[in-house]
């Protein structure tokens, strides 16, 4: 009888290890588009404005609902027009920049898998520009994080919790004493 319990215990342990190995792949399956480059580069210092600001991602983007703005140290919009998406890059035209200081590129795009991705990049203009500012930014810029996966971490915990319950229940069934037959 004891050998039978040990055999059941081994089966449960092997099943639990297989489940954990499967769950280890969840992190990559839940991955979304990630920024690979920007123009200007993040944290760079530039003397003159490029013709456009752009963000490049590791995979193609959906064209719908893309947002890309450039806000200067004066709180004004310096991006001109609507952003365009070409493959894995979203860009917006610039018609020069203005005051010396830190500019913020805020983006919100939809990745190929349908999940929104948002964040910011910054650069510093080191010489006064001659561009014309747009209106004041409305304060509704994208999140300051390049990583949106923290909102989806709950799914991992649901699977871990379910695994613990299943493992605990299986262990209890394997190790409990069988009832005497009447």
3-class DSSP state for residue 115?
A: coil
Q: What torsion do the CA atoms of 126, 129, 131, 135 make, to the nearest 10 degrees?
A: 50
Angle at 128 between CA 122 and CA 134, to 5 degrees: 65
- Summarize pLDDT for 52-92 with one digit per residue, the tens: 999 999 999 999 889 999 999 999 999 999 999 999 999 99
Lowest mean pLDDT among 101-105, 119-123, 142-146, 173-177: 142-146
φ and ψ at residue 22, rounded to 5 degrees: -65, -40
pLDDT band at residue 107 under the 50/70/90 scheme: very high
- The residue count of the chain comes to 182
H-type alpha helices, 33-152:
none
List Cα–Cα distances, 115 to 41, 109, 149, 153, in angstroms.
24, 8, 10, 14
Cα 149 to chain center, whole Å?
A: 5
Tally of CB atoms within 10 A around 57: 22
pLDDT band at residue 149 under the 50/70/90 scheme: very low
What is the value of pTM for the model shown? 0.62
Sign of CA dihedral 14, 16, 20, 26: positive
Tally of CB atoms within 10 A around 109: 28
- What integer best gives the mean pLDDT of the chain? 82
- Give percent helix, percent strand, percent coil of the chain, each to the nearest 5: 30, 30, 40
């Amino acid at each position: 009888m004891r050998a039978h319990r040990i055999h059941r215990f081994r089966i449960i342990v092997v099943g639990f290890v297989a489940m954990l190995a499967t769950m280890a792949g969840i992190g990559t399956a839940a991955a979304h588009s990630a920024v690979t480059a920007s123009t200007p580069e993040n944290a760079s210092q530039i003397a003159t404005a490029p013709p456009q600001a752009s963000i490049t991602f590791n995979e193609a983007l959906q064209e719908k609902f893309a947002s890309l703005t450039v806000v200067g140290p004066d709180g004004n919009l310096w991006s001109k027009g609507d952003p365009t998406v070409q493959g894995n890059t979203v860009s917006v035209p610039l018609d020069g920049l203005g005051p010396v200081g830190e500019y913020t590129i805020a983006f919100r795009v939809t990745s190929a898998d349908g999940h929104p991705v948002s964040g910011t990049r910054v650069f510093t203009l080191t010489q006064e520009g001659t561009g014309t500012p747009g209106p004041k930014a409305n304060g509704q810029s994208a999140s300051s994080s390049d990583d949106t996966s923290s909102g989806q971490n709950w799914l991992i915990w649901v699977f871990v919790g379910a695994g613990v319950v299943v493992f605990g229940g299986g262990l209890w069934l394997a190790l409990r004493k069988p009832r005497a037959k009447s």
